[in-house]
Amino acid sequence: MLKYRPVIVPCLQGSLFFLAYICSFLVRFDFMVPVNIWGMCMLFLPVNVAVKFVVFYYFKMHMGLWRYFSFRDASRLVKATLVSTIVFMGVVLVFWGHGYPRSIYLLDGILTLMFMGGFRVLVRLFREGVLNDAPAGSKVVRILIVGAGDAGDMAARMIEQEMKGATVVGYLDDSPSKKGMMMRGYPILGTTDDAYLVAKKHGATQLLFAIRNVPKSLVRQVVESCVALRLSYQILPVFRDMISGELEVDRIRAIQVEDLLGREPIELDKQVVRDQLKGQCVLVTGAGGSIGSELARQISRFHPSVILLLDMGESALFEIDRELRCYTPREVKIVPVLASITDRITMDAVLAKYKPSFIYHAAAYKHVPMIESHPLRGIENNVFGTKCLVELADKHKVRRFVMISTDKAVRPTNVMGATKRCAELIVTSMASASTKYTAVRFGNVLGSNGSVIPIFKKQLESGGPITVTHPEMTRYFMTIPEAVELVLQAGTMGDGGETFILDMGQPVKIVDLARKMIDLSGKIEGADISITYSGIRPGEKLYEELIAYGETVEPTTFDKIKVHKRPVHEKDGLYASLATLYDWLKKADEVEAAGLLWKIISSHDPDVKVTTGL
């Protein structure tokens, strides 16, 4: 249809111009137009239509999509009609004088406005009514919108225009004073406290959150109150991502468990981060992983000169490289580096060539059962890969080195945690005049590769059961963007040798996480899907900690970041032990290597149990 639009629209507009002009004479003379007046009418008919064409073209009235006719379009239509009437009146006065019926100017303008506007309104009504009727036999989606504001209005308009077979039943809003009022023809049925009763009474099948920067606490409250109704839940994108007030139906997304567990946005001093990174070369190791890729995304927004994306996984590196090139400013150079952090020769060459000012070290083997089965690979990558980077950062005078650590490094009970604890010791014991070394420790991130949420999602999709290791298993959780923001902020702080610890909030029971995901899927635990317990795996703890026994932490200028300062005099003894550990690694002796690793950790953490072998 759009292919023929350049022909159809002028023909329709010309017909409406003609009809408005002729009708103005018929109305003025009660459909009994004198012959001499009719002659005058025909004489100026082409002039009238031509003037309207020119003026309406100037106001771009031919460009608008009539099915999306809006108040802004109506305003332009009024202006175009008024100007065309004035111009036509001027032409008539110049070439005919004062014998032309003056009331025709007014009538012609009014009828032109009515015909042009009315036709557009009819097109929109037809689209929103007839075309959006649900197909025969299909189930109608009844949507209850949470938020009776600008975003709610846009959501309702989008539903009317784009969602066939969907109808808005009304709104909920936090303001009690709005209850009973109407917006866009739909009633405001109550407050968010009334969500369950309103949804049940009006037969809602879907809740759509349409609030500017909707608080996560509100999402949790509404979803938890409506669990029994088995609704589906949707949420608009972040308000700042809506361009020019336009919404697209595919931008609306289903509510994720992250929306229920995540905390409210944290206000950080991004100007400090921007001042630090702008115009600098930044190296991100593990750039293909969940944390590394998000680090790269957020760093790109601070306009560094170069971002070095380093990863040993070709596919993951390819994806983040391609993604960043799509939206990163042209002046920011993206350089993918396919390499392992254990390859000293390659890493030395990369740092010598690009001379990064900042290194964010996120590369690590992280899966507990896998590293428990392959301890030498965990030691090689997590311990000696970190040691390699630390020493090269000093050699090439990197300004800041920030290592990403984990809560599993606190009183570790598995090899992976022990390797990360050892890596922490390497980083924080490094004293350098040119480089500031720090570690940032936090817990699990929601939705990271291989984490519990993607696993639960796959189990849900396959019909279950959802497998939980133990009913009392708890973990700290944080969203990936929030964790990375705090890492970047912590990276601007300290003088070197610190371990920064992120406030993870309250720990969450894994079984409660599974139940929330079942609720969001519209299923009922026990009836539709079950939860089974598989038992604790080797090396796992029932709960994780962020602060080791004997560690003293102090507050920083940011509420969500604490700091632990470790003495730097431990380096000599640590490096002597690492030399012996490296020998056992090269001999591929898992028992001796793992035993020495535990001894290294226990010498710094007396409460860690020494393990002599696997």
What does the pLDDT look like over 517-568, one tens digit per residue? Answer: 887 777 777 777 888 888 887 767 777 777 766 667 788 888 788 887 765 5
Does 68 score more than 60 pLDDT?
no
pLDDT of residue 179: 86
pLDDT of residue 219: 84
Assigned token pair, 212: 């500017």
Query: What percent of the chain clears pLDDT 90, i.e. is strictly above it?
Result: 27
Rounded to the nearest 5 percent, the helix, strand and coil shares of the chain are 50, 15, 35
Same-domain pairing of 60 and 158? no
In a domain, residue 613? The reply is no
Which candidate, 204, 164, 205, 161, places its Cα nearest to that of 184? Answer: 161
In a domain, residue 329? The reply is yes
Same-domain pairing of 296 and 445? yes
Does 613 score more than 50 pLDDT?
no
Same-domain pairing of 237 and 375? no
Same-domain pairing of 456 and 529? yes
Assigned token pair, 566: 């470790």
Same-domain pairing of 333 and 481? yes
pLDDT of residue 184: 76
pTM (2 d.p.): 0.67
Q: In this structure, how many other beta carbons lie within 10 angstroms of the beta carbon of residue 597?
A: 26
Does 425 score more than 70 pLDDT?
yes
In a domain, residue 609? The reply is no
Same-domain pairing of 58 and 179? no
Which of 43-47, 187-191, 446-450, 512-516 is the least confident region? 446-450
To the nearest whole number, what is the mean pLDDT of the chain? 82
Same-domain pairing of 434 and 538? yes
d(CA 425, CA 49): 83
In a domain, residue 136? The reply is no
Same-domain pairing of 117 and 174? no
In a domain, residue 261? The reply is no
**The domain boundary residue, chosen from 129, 161, 193:** 129
Tell me the chain's radius of gyration from C-alpha atoms.
34
In a domain, residue 296? The reply is yes
Same-domain pairing of 247 and 395? no
Q: What is the arithmetic mean of pLDDT over 401-415?
A: 90
In a domain, residue 612? The reply is no
Residues with Cβ within 8 Å of 519's Cβ and at least 6 positions away in sequence, in order, are: 223, 224, 227
Question: Helices 102-129 and 5-28 meet at what angle, rounded to 10?
Answer: 130
pLDDT of residue 469: 86
Same-domain pairing of 432 and 570? yes
Same-domain pairing of 306 and 360? yes
B/e letters for 111-135, b = 16+ CB within 10 Å, e = fewer, are bbbebbbebbeeebeebbeeebeee
**pLDDT (tens digit, 9 = 90+) per residue, 41-61?**
888 888 888 888 888 888 777
- Please name the amino acid found at residue 165: G
**The domain boundary residue, chosen from 255, 283, 314:** 255
Q: Are the CB atoms for 191 and 198 separated by under 8 Å?
A: no
Query: What percent of the chain clears pLDDT 70, i.e. is strictly above it?
Result: 85
Does 144 score more than 60 pLDDT?
yes
Handedness of CA 196, 202, 207, 213 (dihedral sign): negative
Partners of residue 336 on adjacent β-strands:
309
* CATH code assigned at 251: 3.40.50.720
Does 208 score more than 70 pLDDT?
yes
pLDDT band at 75 (very low <50, low <70, confident <90, very high): confident
Q: Of the segments 68-77, 130-139, 351-360, which one has the largest average pLDDT value? A: 351-360
**pLDDT (tens digit, 9 = 90+) per residue, 113-132?**
888 877 777 776 666 554 44
- Please name the amino acid found at residue 376: L
Give the residue numbers spanning the domain of 533: 270-604
Q: What is the arithmetic mean of pLDDT over 323-351?
A: 93
Domain count, the chain: 3
Does 513 score more than 60 pLDDT?
yes
pLDDT of residue 454: 79
- Which sequence positions are flagged as catalytic? 408
Which of 131-145, 354-368, 376-390 is the least confident region? 131-145
Which of 25-29, 52-56, 287-291, 502-506 is the least confident region? 502-506
pLDDT of residue 340: 95
In a domain, residue 21? The reply is yes
Same-domain pairing of 502 and 478? yes
pLDDT of residue 110: 87
